[in-house]
Amino acid sequence: MTAVTGQNSIVLSESVDWIVGDEIIITTTDTNIEHTERHTIANI
């Protein structure tokens, strides 16, 4: 899946057991590690 710039939600292809407050990492698809993002689950 691709997280679109400016969006505040993502769609996953499989079920997960995340809860509000969990943190996720969205990795970069290029060679610049600074493009990797850390986000906190705010709503399920």
- Which residue carries 């990492």 as its tokens? 25
Task: Write out pLDDT tens, residues 1-44.
Answer: 666 778 888 888 899 999 999 999 988 888 998 989 899 999 88
Beta strands in the chain (DSSP E): 23-26, 37-40
pLDDT at residue 18, as a whole number: 95
Q: Domain locations in the chain? A: 17-44
Cα gap 36→44, rounded to integer Å: 22
pLDDT at 2: 67
Q: Kindly report the pTM of this predicted structure.
A: 0.65
Six-digit token pair at 37? 């993002």
Residue 41 has a pLDDT of 93
The pLDDT assigned to 1 comes to 63
